[in-house]
Amino acid sequence: MGKINAAMHLKTILILLLLFISTIAAAYPEKPITFIVHSKPGSGIDITTRQFTRIAAKYSEATFVVENKTGGSGIIAMREVLDRPADGYTILAMTKSFLSTILLSKSGIDLDDFYLLSCLVIDPEVLITNRHAEVRTLQDIIRDAKAKQGKQKWLGPLVGGVDHLMAVKVWDKLGIRGEWIPFEGGSDALAALLGQHGVVYVGNPVDVKGRPDLMIAAVSAEQRLPEFPDAPTFKELGYDLSDDVLWRGYALKNGVPEEALRYLEDLFVKVGSDSEWISFIQKTAAHPVVLMHDEFSGMVEKDKLESLKYLKMAGILSDNNSTAIIDQQSAALILSALLLIVLLLLYIFKREWLRGEVVIALALTAAALFLYTQTFNFPQGKLSKTAGPAAMPRMWIYGLLVFNLWLILQTIRQNRAESEQQESNGNKLVKAAGLVLLTTIYLFVVGYFGYYLSTFLFLVAGMYWMAYRRHILIFAISGGFVLFSYYAFQKVLMVPLPAGSIWF
């Protein structure tokens, strides 16, 4: 790897020495340090981070917590970090995929909002083929791609993700075209490659580990990988691709105090050089590195420009932002007005038709029509020749419209024959609706008083509302439940429960 060199090691040692002196008097950390991970427990970055915290405990007195804030390909996690104070107690686990997320989402979050602390893992990008297929080597791929004229199937995860952009880059550099077939995750795409439903998979060396049916066709690195000496690099085959890596690193919100920053930098250097850490990363067929702020930022900046270029080349980002054809408010307004008119007319003229089924069917029809207007804003064509993003939702909407109409007609027909159905008891309806309201209040209150106090109050209030009157039992059960949830979730399973802004 070109990124690790002797100078860096020297610098690392110097930083270590300097940091050691400067941290002696530091008071940080006095609270648990939380790592925010954007994917589910058990994912690559989650396991890496949990392993990091385990090894970090050797070098630090602080407690470490890993919190998974999933969703939006990292948007939720980034927002979570930005919403918390820049005190150095919240660390964002980052991967290269965040670049696409930032570039594609209109969330207002930017890379500049973060201080890139350290990158500890880099994983070279490789092309993987099926050993038993006809197309195995890079030369095979190029020949096959030219023969299929852009119909060659490339498998991998999400469109616009790291692997897709790598594929676009490879097509660009090799002068070929392929068809990107996206799967839910890397392993689904790998299964498809094993089943020969496609030709090339874009991934990392870990993907062929333990899978003798797969082979690496080309590696984007300066030199061959020590673990896979038979896999050629793009460079030796004559193509200009040599430093594409999937990196995993850690970032902070901008503005963290110097003292905390020094402490963390010191800790990351120590863990990054720990032998147990290094052997763990090597087990995942990735490269352990210690890139601190300057080098990390340089790499990320370069990758960001490149991502932008290939997102545009893939047609995912375009320069002209098309505005919405139908804006949401007016569509919703028109449809709700129509619904109200229909209900009003029914109420005045055909009151016997106005039964629960009909109201639900009408409301669903209005909702379906509203969503239908939204589908006109969906991108059409180009990326998805046959069935675009609007195809399936529209099919379900048509179905919903047909069956709603059918239901309304059926209800009206039955209504003539049948007499009025039994009325539900008003008192009990109030009882049920009251519990809904109580739950709603509970959810609001959690934001202020946190989980424990709110839950206790909710349980007490709920049992009273349900007309349970054994006061001591009510308090005992409510308290018992809160204690149980504390021990089971916070202590044993280490699932954090929400804290409030006023109370914990």
Partner 1 sequence: MEIFTHLADGFGNIFDLTSLFIIAAGVIMGILVGVLPGLSPAMGVALLVPFSYGMSPLNALILLAAVYSAANYGGTITAIAINTPGTPSAIVSTFDGYALTKQGQPGRALGASVMASTVGGILGTVVLVFFSVPLAKAALSFGPPEYFALAVFGLTIISSLSTGNYIKAFIATLIGLLLNTVGMDPFTGYLRFTFGIPELADGFSFIPALIGLFALSEIFLSIERSDTVKEVLKKVSGKMPRFSEMWKIKRAVLQSSVLGTLIGVVPGAGATIAAFIAYNEAKRSSKNPDQFGKGALEGVAASGAATSGSVGGALVPLLTLGIPGSAATAVLIGALIMHGLTPGPELFKDKAIIVYSLFASLFVAYFVMFFLGMAGNQLWIKIIAAPKAVLNPIILAIAFIGSYSVGNSMFDVWSCLGFGVLGWLLRRYDFPTAPVILGLILGFLAETNFRRALLMGDWNIFFTRPVSLIMLILAALSLFWPIISAYWKKRKEVME
Nearest approach, Cβ of residue 20 and partner 1 (Å): 28
Nearest approach, Cβ of residue 482 and partner 1 (Å): 9
For partner 1, the closer CB: 11 or 50 = 50
For partner 1, the closer CB: 180 or 234 = 180
For partner 1, the closer CB: 105 or 137 = 105
Q: Which helix (H) or strand (E) holds 289?
A: strand 287-292
For partner 1, the closer CB: 9 or 431 = 431
Q: How many CB atoms lie within 10 A of CB 247?
A: 22
Distance CA 267, CA 256 (A): 15
For partner 1, the closer CB: 54 or 304 = 54
Q: How many CB atoms lie within 10 A of CB 466?
A: 12
Q: Could you give phi then psi for residue 475, rounded to 5 degrees?
A: -70, -40
Nearest approach, Cβ of residue 120 and partner 1 (Å): 16
Distance CA 16, CA 481 (A): 48
**Triad 420, 424, 426: Cα angle to 5°:** 130
Distances (CA, A) of 86 to 89, 217, 326: 8, 45, 40
For partner 1, the closer CB: 280 or 296 = 280
Nearest approach, Cβ of residue 213 and partner 1 (Å): 8
Nearest approach, Cβ of residue 247 and partner 1 (Å): 19
For partner 1, the closer CB: 223 or 439 = 439
Distances (CA, A) of 62 to 37, 218, 262, 317, 326: 19, 43, 15, 43, 53
Distance CA 19, CA 16 (A): 5
Inter-residue contact 504 to 450 (CB < 8 Å): yes
Short-list 128, 142, 134, 141, CA closest to 193: 128
For partner 1, the closer CB: 61 or 184 = 184
Q: How many CB atoms lie within 10 A of CB 71?
A: 13
Nearest approach, Cβ of residue 24 and partner 1 (Å): 31
Inter-residue contact 35 to 91 (CB < 8 Å): yes
For partner 1, the closer CB: 265 or 288 = 288
For partner 1, the closer CB: 2 or 108 = 108
Nearest approach, Cβ of residue 294 and partner 1 (Å): 31
Distances (CA, A) of 347 to 288, 353, 354: 71, 8, 7
Nearest approach, Cβ of residue 454 and partner 1 (Å): 9
Nearest approach, Cβ of residue 283 and partner 1 (Å): 6
Distances (CA, A) of 178 to 60, 170, 174: 49, 10, 11
- SS3 at position 372: helix
For partner 1, the closer CB: 15 or 47 = 47
For partner 1, the closer CB: 60 or 233 = 60
**Residue at 180: amino acid letter:** W
Distance CA 313, CA 305 (A): 13
Nearest approach, Cβ of residue 455 and partner 1 (Å): 5
Nearest approach, Cβ of residue 290 and partner 1 (Å): 21
Residues forming beta bridges with residue 202, ordered by sequence position = 127
Take residue 338 and report the two structure tokens written for it. 């129509």
Distances (CA, A) of 43 to 37, 38, 226: 10, 10, 25
Nearest approach, Cβ of residue 16 and partner 1 (Å): 26
% helix / strand / coil in the chain, to the nearest 5?
55, 15, 35
Distances (CA, A) of 215 to 122, 219, 229: 20, 11, 12
